[in-house]
Amino acid sequence: MSRILVAFLIVFPFIGLFLTFPTSFSWDEAILNTIAYVISIALVNVWLGVGTAWWLLFTESRWKSWVEWLTFLPLFIPVLASMFGMYIALAQVGLIGTYTGVGLVLLVTTLPYSIRLAYNAMYVIGRPLLEQALTFAPLARIGFVLLPLLKESVRTIVLFSTVIVLSQFVLVQLIGAGLIPTVTTRLYQAYAGNDVSQALQNTWVLVSLPVLFYIGLGGIFSIWIRLVKGRLQ
Amino acid sequence: MSLVLSGIRKRFKDRDVLSGIDLTIPNGEIHALVGVSGSGKSTLLRIIAGLETLDAGTVTWEELPLHGVPPHLRRITMLSQSPLLFPHLTVGENVTLATPNRSREEAEVWLTRVKLPGRYDAEVHELSGGEQQRVSFARALAAAPRLILLDEPFTNLDPGLKSELQRLIRDLVRELELTALLVTHDREEAMLVADRVTLLETGHVRVTGTPVLLSETESTFGDFVELGGAFYPSTEIDVSTEPTSDSLVLVRPFIRFGHHFGEYRRSTGEYVILPRNESFEVGKTYYLRQKQGGI
């Protein structure tokens, strides 16, 4: 009985969606902006998240605990609380209402999660096993060992950063000054203006993107590992 | 041509782990670093492998200073307590990855050398701990190193497997004319495997010498025998095959370099190797007691 209840609670938000598919779909600036942000923020998150986690795991620097504290600090402060600080800082350098400004705040809000995810994954794999990879040249180390070992955490980082980027409405509106349209900002406008077909299309984009990226990345990793193993046969 | 460690110092937080280590290991030698936990032996190995930085001193290998040389360019491999095989690769793929040309044929030769022929396509988890350690050794050798670092690689193995792998590693290292540095807290293991032994104590080199020399000169190699909680020079101790009320059981007589030694365990839990005694016979049990009229 409890399983049925849990299943219902998980499926419940999507029941309405599956009953009403959009009848038409049109690519617009908001969708293209969203996809560009999702891909670029996810890539930078994987790069900086895994890189910082590696540094935190291996460094002996006396600054390590400070850096660790700083990188995880945003996890403890709600975005709404830090938003105004970011607004003032970006206004000083003229990045309000720009694509760069919006990209920067989206990165700032996602990166701490990515560092934590990558760090936890490396901690579970263990420093001794990761050190074995150091005996291989950098490209072989990444391609043959680190990517396959970290594939699940990379997928999770991409999923998390995608979902967080897609969830930001207030931040994008404030820093983008209403000039940078994304699916999320359009969705709220569609709801407010009672534009059902626009709202439905944007909702489907929001639901589809994380699922597509997660499944797509899984496929890419499977192909990659097959190639790696083929090279060793 | 040798490994030269000069003035190596390493400090972790408030503790000096290595306090000025000077050591020269000639090419082709199997050298054992013996010491209790915390004596700095594994840290020294990690510094040589490039996995740890040093605070002072130099490491020179084949006349080249290793400072700033990344681990993959050192031609040094390391074997640890755990096999540390990559789980997403098969047994053979783990070895192939280490070969300079990524050659399956070469990897199969190495697997045969460590007595695992035909296991190329086996998954890592299908192998026992001892077999995994052998694969790990094959991987270490497949990288064509000139120096191999052995960080207590026999610790987690059962006794039979342990001696089998000790012999295998010793024989292959000699055959390939590699230099090997073995870290262990087991003095018997050091005597069985190494050409020379260095005793490390709280970050210092206490003494370096052949196992036979150390067994005759070093108290930690059995110069003093514990009886009833007190220590006596070994010259004051009688050995017999008959037990008495004040006697101590002597276990595991063994032969090294053609000489007979025996090992017993002190009340502190520490194993002590007794000085040479040609009357020791492997497989027999002996008892120690204070000599009549002794101190």
CA distances from A206 to A35, A185, A197 (A): 10, 11, 14
Partner-chain residue, chosen from A134, A144, A149, that has the shortest CB–CB distance to B72: A134
pLDDT classification of A145: cutoffs 50, 70, 90: very high
Please tell me if residue A153 touches chain B, with a CB cutoff of 8 Å.
Answer: no
For the entire predicted model, the pTM comes to 0.78
How is the beta sheet containing B179-184 ordered, strand by strand?
Answer: B76-79, B147-151, B179-184, B30-34, B196-201, B204-209
**A142 vs B contacts (CB less than 8 Å):** none
Q: Is the pLDDT of residue A114 over 80?
A: yes
Q: Is the pLDDT of residue B220 over 70?
A: no
pLDDT classification of A115: cutoffs 50, 70, 90: very high
Interface of B with A in 131-190 (CB under 8 A): 143
From CA A201, how far away is CA A21, in angstroms rounded? 8
Over range B73-92, report the average pLDDT: 93
Please tell me if residue A149 touches chain B, with a CB cutoff of 8 Å.
Answer: yes
Taking alpha carbons only, the member of B233, B275, B230, B216 closest to residue B250 is B275
**A233 vs B contacts (CB less than 8 Å):** 93, 96, 104
What pLDDT, on a 0 to 100 scale, did the predictor assign at position A116?
92
**A131 vs B contacts (CB less than 8 Å):** 51
Instruction: Determine whether B15 is exposed, middle or buried from the number of CB atoms within 10 Å of its CB (0-12, 13-18, 19+).
Output: exposed
**B96 vs A contacts (CB less than 8 Å):** 232-233
Over range A105-113, report the average pLDDT: 92
**A145 vs B contacts (CB less than 8 Å):** 86, 97
Over range B101-123, report the average pLDDT: 93
Helical axes B129-142 vs B91-98, angle rounded to 10°: 20
Q: B227-259: per-residue pLDDT in tens?
A: 666 666 666 777 888 777 666 677 678 777 677
Instruction: Determine whether A22 is exposed, middle or buried from the number of CB atoms within 10 Å of its CB (0-12, 13-18, 19+).
Output: middle
Q: Is the pLDDT of residue B122 over 90?
A: yes
Q: B163-172: per-residue pLDDT in tens?
A: 788 888 888 8
Q: A57-90: per-residue pLDDT in tens?
A: 988 777 888 888 888 787 777 777 788 888 899 9
What pLDDT, on a 0 to 100 scale, did the predictor assign at position B269?
62
Over range A34-59, report the average pLDDT: 94
Over range A31-55, report the average pLDDT: 95
pLDDT classification of B219: cutoffs 50, 70, 90: low
What pLDDT, on a 0 to 100 scale, did the predictor assign at position B92?
95
**A231 vs B contacts (CB less than 8 Å):** 102
Does the model's ipTM exceed the 0.90 cut? no
Q: Is the pLDDT of residue B263 over 50?
A: yes
Over range B127-151, report the average pLDDT: 92
A27-232: CATH architecture? Orthogonal Bundle (1.10)
More confident residue, B50 or B155: B50
From CA A151, how far away is CA B214, in angstroms rounded? 51
Q: B25-36: per-residue pLDDT in tens?
A: 999 999 999 887
Cβ contact, residue pair A232, B88, below 8 Å: no
Cβ contact, residue pair B89, A229, below 8 Å: yes
Over range A165-180, report the average pLDDT: 90
pLDDT classification of B271: cutoffs 50, 70, 90: low
Interface test with B, best of A125, A130, A131, A132 (most B CBs within 10 A): A132
What pLDDT, on a 0 to 100 scale, did the predictor assign at position B294?
44
What pLDDT, on a 0 to 100 scale, did the predictor assign at position B203?
85
Cβ contact, residue pair A135, B102, below 8 Å: no
Interstrand relation of B76-79 and B147-151 (parallel, antiparallel or unpaired):
parallel
Q: B155-205: per-residue pLDDT in tens?
A: 877 777 787 888 888 888 889 999 999 998 877 788 778 889 898 888 888
From CA A96, how far away is CA A102, in angstroms rounded? 8
Q: Is the pLDDT of residue A124 over 80?
A: yes
Give the rounded percent of residues in chain A with a pLDDT score beyond 90. Answer: 55
Q: Is the pLDDT of residue B295 over 50?
A: no
Over range A101-112, report the average pLDDT: 93
